[in-house]
Structure 1
Amino acid sequence: MKTMNVLFIVAVSSYLPGTTMGVGWTYHDIPAWGTHYPQCKGQHQSPIDIKHDDAVVDKKLGEFRHALFDVPSQSMLIKNNGHSLQIDLTNGYSINDRSLLPGQFKAVQFHFHWAAPNAKGSEHLINGNQYWGELHIVHYNTKYPDVGTAANKSDGLAVLGFFIKDDYPQDNTAVKRILDPVAAGQINYDTENKTYATSFSLETFLPNNLTVYYRYQGSLTTPGCYESVVWTIFNQPIRISRIQANVFEKMVFESKRNASNPVRINGNFRPFQALNGRTVSRSTYCSGAGSFSMPIFHFIALCATVVGLIIVR
């Protein structure tokens, strides 16, 4: 039993949960996930299609500030886990504000979901609209000793989700720092990893406006699909260049480096799941905007202007 617990913790730490109890999975067999991981057939699964007009304004939801994310981790390890690019954080920042999250939560890693070429690849949708990709920052509730223990608890995890658009006219310099080992051909294949020479704060690549977001209770979007996640989905996207999107789409493989026919990782997203009566809340900021008849980016810019939050970064 002791050996099994160690295996579980290692697996959950790697992509939450990555490969649990020795049973593999891929994005090529999503309909079969429920066979080996029964919770993938649960009633409170993620991701979802967020309908703005159906989201309930929650005045208790506070304002995320960039200062929360401005402390670099002790060290940062980028790895290809065969499903995504993941960056593990050693001694990451903590959020201890109950207007933001229901407890004290510590950041342990972030990872990416992205499109196949000429497609879309975000996991969550807004009013049926899908973005090119999505970034997830994973935290665990510090009432538990570690992320492995917390992963299957109903209040165990908190994930902050950020959409990614591939329309920026130049490289996003903060994202470039993340991707440099991939572009250099060092972290392209399954199990390859590298510790960054210098850690950097997550604040550097987050969007300017963190005030407009959605909140709901859901699950991990990979097996074992534990319904243990309080989700926060921010409305303003991170923007990267098409060249940077190509690095994700063409230079990251689910295969080992010595594979004769390496398979690229792209389209690594789970389709949206049924809401099944759950309530989606939204922050109070700019809450009277209606159904987003204008493009979301323009709406965010308008809201930010109104509340005085547009800044040059």
Structure 2
Amino acid sequence: MNILNTLFFVAVVGILADATLGASWSYGDISAWATNYATCATQQQSPIDIVHDDAIVDTTLGDFTHALFDAPPQTMTIKNPGYTVQIDLTGGYTIDDPSLLPGVFKAAQFHLHWGNSSSAGSEHLFNGNQYWGELHIVHYNTKYPDLGTAANESDGLAVLGFFITKDYPQDNTAVQRMIQPLTEDRVNYNSESESYTTTFSMETFLPNNISVYYRYQGSLTTPPCYESVMWTVFSEPIRISTAQANIFETRIFSADRGTSNPDLVNNNYRPAQPLNGRTVFRSTQCSGTGSFSMPTFHFVALCATVIGLIIVR
């Protein structure tokens, strides 16, 4: 990987510093992003507010299945780059189905955005509502040699977005395996990382229904905000417990270990951006008409091609 591709790579995976692209950024000063990174002020930015009634049915969109995500990667490394929790993948699964994505896309990493104990923190909104958090699985188009090269290509990236609620009545065991290094305070400070001794598939923590989703063309949600992302945002959320959410809200820090009074990483989301005439598509005529959280249950309104369903999970 040459030096230019390396710079693109670190931009995508979220490790930006003054030495990379000439400026730094933070969630505390989002208004400055457009000044330091011109692309952040362009017309196809992410995230957005997904409004179900405004989304156009695309009957060519296929169904995502759990089998697509079933193969564990060769290696997985969890890291704290100072403003998120990220898991890098080597040998991640590949999506090769033209009804799902227009190309062959390989999973490279996933990361999370979240709120705090009193406010929500998903990046995308759904019908104007914000969830507690959001998980993004980042893929690159294999027509390009690597993630860094694909980052600034119009068809370079595909990101799958999953909302997260903290209303599950017990710990989500699949998510617990993911965050165990955080629970044990091993990757909780800036620049810390650890490889998992045993890898696990993405399928283990995905929601049951992944056939209902929304699709639009957008951008990275962090600088340099390249407009290279085909977004797929799923209707049904991942559910975690309040205790698991508390790990993110109170035990992830932006400073190095040993720093006095380090700042917490929370509310690490970009606000919704203008749609600017873009079309949002949905996967089926009978897609989710809305969702809302209650203390114990999460209701997602779905309907199948023939019969309407309300799934209570």
TM-score range, shorter chain: over 0.9
Residue 282 of structure 1 corresponds to 282
Residue 148 of structure 1 corresponds to 148
Q: Kindly indicate whether the alpha-carbon contact (under 8 Å) linking 2:210 and 2:234 is maintained by their aligned counterparts in 1.
A: yes
The question of 1:5 aligning with 2:4 is answered yes
Task: Output the TM-score relative to the length of structure 1.
Answer: 0.92
1:310 Cα deviation (Å)?
A: 7.2
The question of 1:226 aligning with 2:219 is answered no
Q: Kindly indicate whether the alpha-carbon contact (under 8 Å) linking 2:300 and 2:310 is maintained by their aligned counterparts in 1.
A: no
Residue 158 of structure 1 corresponds to 158
Task: Output the TM-score relative to the length of structure 2.
Answer: 0.92
Give the direction of change, closer, same or farther, for the CA distance of 1:78–1:285 in structure 2 (3 Å limit).
Answer: farther
Residue 269 of structure 1 corresponds to 269
Three-state SS of the structure 2 residue aligned to 1:215 is: strand
Three-state SS of the structure 1 residue aligned to 2:31 is: helix
Residue type at the aligned position of 1:8: L
Instruction: Calculate the aligned-residue CA RMSD, in Å.
Output: 2.3
1:103 Cα deviation (Å)?
A: 0.4
The question of 1:249 aligning with 2:249 is answered yes
Q: Kindly indicate whether the alpha-carbon contact (under 8 Å) linking 1:208 and 1:311 is maintained by their aligned counterparts in 2.
A: no
In structure 1, distance between residues paired with 2:16 and 2:162: 21
In structure 1, distance between residues paired with 2:88 and 2:306: 35
1:21 Cα deviation (Å)?
A: 2.1
Residue 182 of structure 1 corresponds to 182
The question of 1:298 aligning with 2:299 is answered yes
May I ask how many residue pairs the two structures share in their alignment?
307
The question of 1:52 aligning with 2:52 is answered yes
1:258 Cα deviation (Å)?
A: 2.1
In structure 1, distance between residues paired with 2:29 and 2:48: 19
Three-state SS of the structure 2 residue aligned to 1:298 is: strand
Residue 105 of structure 2 corresponds to 105
Residue 86 of structure 2 corresponds to 86
Flag the structure with higher strand content. Answer: 2
1:61 Cα deviation (Å)?
A: 0.4
In structure 1, distance between residues paired with 2:183 and 2:170: 16
Deviations 1:112-154, CA, capped at 9 Å, x for gaps: 0000221000000011010000000000000000000000100
1:172 Cα deviation (Å)?
A: 0.2
Q: Kindly indicate whether the alpha-carbon contact (under 8 Å) linking 1:113 and 1:134 is maintained by their aligned counterparts in 2.
A: yes
Three-state SS of the structure 1 residue aligned to 2:245 is: helix
Three-state SS of the structure 1 residue aligned to 2:149 is: helix
Q: Kindly indicate whether the alpha-carbon contact (under 8 Å) linking 1:12 and 1:147 is maintained by their aligned counterparts in 2.
A: no
1:14 Cα deviation (Å)?
A: 2.6
1:22 Cα deviation (Å)?
A: 4.8
Which structure 2 residue ranges, 5 or more long, are not aligned? none
1:224 Cα deviation (Å)?
A: 0.2
Deviations 1:92-125, CA, capped at 9 Å, x for gaps: 0000111000100000000000002210000000
